[in-house]
Structures are given as structure tokens and as C-alpha cells.
Amino acid sequence: MSLTLDLLRHGETERGGGLRGSLDDALTAHGWQQMRHAVAARGGWDRIISSPLQRCRLFAEELAANRHLPLSLAPGLQELHFGDWEGHSAADLMLTDERGLGLFWSDPYGFTPPNGEPVLDFSARVLAAVQRLNLEYPGQRLLVVSHGGVMRLLLARARGLPREQLLSVEAANGSLFSLTVAADGQLREEG
């Protein structure tokens, strides 16, 4: 029995772009609007699963209340922790750590930001969280409110991309994608 995941990325945050990671900043009014718009014509979910960070959780709580759906928090679906790079934009890092940024962009699995979470560990954490969902909710359709890095990882795996192309996957604020998780854990993107 397969599980369907509708992946919703949080909207724009108060501190803007850049590497947010484990920073717990709030959504802007535009960010709330992006997320509401993304789910306005969608539904059929059995449950909502959310990252515990407020840029995901607060919207998930509102939507769960409005649609009378159960909500669970999944710490395993939090964003990659960028260590010393958290809160900085790529433009900032071009001035302070151009070499490191270049290494990270060319092979995120091969280079870890200083004091950051290795992408290999992040990948294992996210895939373990998805496997838990697959075991707990077989045959259900879940809305997963999460982060760009989580979505890029899952979409890259579903598309069969090599690991070096992880950061080439687009996942804009407020974007919504659908995946099927087979009983064996294989991911497939839905049309």
C-alpha cells in the first residue's frame, strides 16, 4: 500500500532569503498568503504533518483547525542546519567564504558548512522520517509542511537525480508537490 505526500514549502519569512536552517523566524503576511493560495483548491488529506519550526507549524495549525484534520509534528523534517552559515545569504557568503560556498554548491554531500549538519546525515534523518510516516499511515494522503532542503532532497530522489544535482531542484516558497511513497520506500513524483 502506498502513501501519498503533498509537500508544501513554507512561505516567505520575516528575515527574508538566505540560509534559514534551524533559525525559527516567522512568516510575513505575503508568506501566509503564498501558503493559503497553494492549498486553496487542494484537499483530500487524512492528516497534516509539519516541521516544528514556526514558519511551517503555525500555518499547519491554522489549516488543521480550519479543515478539522489531525496534526503531528515531525522534527525529522526540519531544514538542514547550516552551522556558521545560518542567517547568511549566498551573496554574503561570496564575500566571506566564496571557496566553501562553491564547494557546497558543486557537491553538497561532499562539503559541509562550518559547524553545520552534513547533508548525508540530513538525508538519513529526512528519509527515516518519511519511512516512519510510511509505516504509520499506509494508504493515506498527508500534507507535509516543510522546508526547501527537505523538498529538494525528496524530489531529487523521486526524479533519480545524482547527488551533485540536489541544489538544482527548484522548490520556491509556497510551492506544492506530490509524491507517492511505495511500501519499499521508493519515491515517485506525481504529475
> Could you list the active site residues?
10, 79
For 9, counting Cβ atoms within 10 Å of its Cβ (0-12 exposed, 13-18 middle, 19+ buried), the class is buried
Strands 47-50 and 71-73: parallel
Nearest to 31 by CA among 145, 191, 149: 145
Nearest to 89 by CA among 34, 4, 19, 151: 19
User: Are 151 and 177 contacting, i.e. CB atoms less than 8 angstroms apart?
Assistant: yes
